[in-house]
């Protein structure tokens, strides 16, 4: 079995894009691989967070993991800050990273644009992301297109450590599905669907009510003309909606084109909304059950214990190779 590691920030509401681009893949991977999935709360605080909201979102995100089908008996689900080795190895890798590498990170440029003051954590957090992955010597890392740059830095840091201190870390590979890796905004298909978008109509939140979902999809931007055709270059808006229907309705893109040939966008968008609702309604029912019983806390405790076993062993060996004096036991 290969080892898989991935995480999602507990800031804002998780979206249909998170579900299709990440969580559906988590559920598939746990059947064949050893998986570790986490809420990356240490990443979330690279920008200011309201404490009560951070706690609520951390519990909500991890509960949605389980509601989406991640099985605690098959995968370790945990909170990043509950495994202390993440922060410690993150610091060690910060000392290996170069300023130029961190300055080139596109997400840093985007999030710091137009701001007078920028927290140092936002600048160095790719080093923490590298530590997250390498703590578990992960073989595969499910990432969207926007995270490939961070994974490349992780690969570079693994090579750098191995060349300086001895061959220890595996160099991870990205796991990027061919279709659906990046679900785009409902109002602008040139931008990723994001929970941080100030326009709530641009995304489907996993906790949106069915009526809200139907309304948002009925208003989703479409291209000129009325042909339902998968052509991301010339028809990016409808191609994005087709990708969503493909994942939620279990249809191939060719089948979608054939089914709506000559029908225009009206029938297509109505069926799309029902397909999305059919996926989200049972997810929400399971989510509400998890939150009402409080079972998520036991799941997170068990997940952190399993993750810590692996992470602490990796951290100890890393420090030994770097020359740290081990404490007397």
Give the whole-angstrom CA distance, residue 245 versus residue 140: 27
Give the whole-angstrom CA distance, residue 299 versus residue 78: 8
Give the whole-angstrom CA distance, residue 151 versus residue 141: 8
Catalytic site residue 317? no
Q: Count other Cβ atoms within 10 Å, centred on residue 94.
A: 19
Angle between helices 265-293 and 295-322 (to 10 degrees): 90
Please check whether residue 240 is in contact with residue 191, taking contact to mean a CB–CB distance below 8 angstroms.
no
Catalytic residue among 2, 74, 111, 319: 111
Catalytic residue among 195, 216, 235, 269: 195
Catalytic residue among 192, 216, 235, 269: 192
Q: Could you tell me where the beta strands, DSSP code E, fall in the chain?
A: 3-8, 34-39, 75-79, 140-142, 173-175
How much is the pTM? 0.89
Minimal CA–CA distance to 180: which of 154, 142, 207, 211? Answer: 142
Catalytic site residue 111? yes
Catalytic site residue 109? no
Give the whole-angstrom CA distance, residue 293 versus residue 304: 20
Question: What does the pLDDT profile of the chain (329 residues) look like in tens digits?
Answer: 889 888 999 987 899 998 988 888 889 899 999 999 999 999 999 988 999 999 999 999 999 999 999 999 999 999 999 999 999 999 999 999 999 999 888 777 777 777 778 888 889 999 999 999 999 998 888 766 667 778 899 999 999 999 999 999 999 888 776 655 579 999 999 898 988 788 889 999 999 999 999 999 999 999 888 899 999 999 999 999 999 999 999 999 999 999 999 888 999 999 999 999 999 999 999 999 999 999 999 999 999 999 999 999 999 999 999 999 998 88
């Amino acid at each position: 079995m290969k080892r898989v590691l991935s995480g999602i920030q507990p800031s804002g509401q998780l979206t249909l894009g998170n579900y299709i681009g990440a969580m559906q893949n988590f559920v598939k991977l746990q059947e064949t691989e050893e998986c570790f999935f986490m809420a990356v709360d240490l990443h979330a605080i690279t920008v200011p967070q309201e404490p009560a909201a951070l706690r609520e979102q951390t519990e909500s995100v991890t509960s949605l993991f389980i509601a989406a089908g991640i099985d605690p008996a098959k995968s370790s689900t945990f909170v990043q800050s509950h495994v202390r080795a993440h922060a410690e190895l993150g610091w060690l890798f910060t000392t290996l990273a170069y300023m130029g590498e961190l300055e080139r990170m596109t997400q840093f440029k985007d999030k710091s644009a137009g701001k007078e003051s920028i927290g140092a954590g936002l600048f160095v957090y790719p080093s923490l992301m590298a530590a997250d992955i390498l703590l578990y010597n992960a073989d595969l890392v499910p990432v969207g297109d926007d995270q490939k740059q961070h994974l490349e830095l992780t690969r570079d840091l693994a090579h750098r450590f191995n060349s300086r201190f001895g061959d220890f870390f595996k160099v991870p590979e990205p796991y990027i599905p061919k279709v659906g890796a990046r679900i785009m905004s409902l109002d602008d298909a040139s931008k990723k669907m994001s929970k941080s978008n100030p326009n709530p109509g641009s995304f489907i939140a996993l906790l949106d009510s069915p009526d809200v979902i139907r309304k948002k999809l009925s208003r989703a931007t479409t291209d000129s003309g009325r042909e339902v055709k998968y052509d991301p270059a010339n028809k990016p808006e409808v191609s994005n909606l087709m990708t969503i229907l493909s994942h939620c309705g279990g249809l191939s893109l060719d089948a979608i084109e054939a089914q709506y040939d000559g029908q225009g966008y009206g029938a297509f968008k109505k069926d799309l909304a029902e397909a999305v609702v059919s996926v989200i309604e049972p997810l929400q029912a399971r989510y509400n059950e998890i939150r009402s019983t409080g079972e998520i806390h036991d799941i997170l405790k068990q997940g952190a214990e399993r993750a810590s076993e692996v992470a602490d062993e990796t951290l100890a060996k890393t420090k030994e190779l770097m020359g740290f004096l081990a404490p007397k036991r």
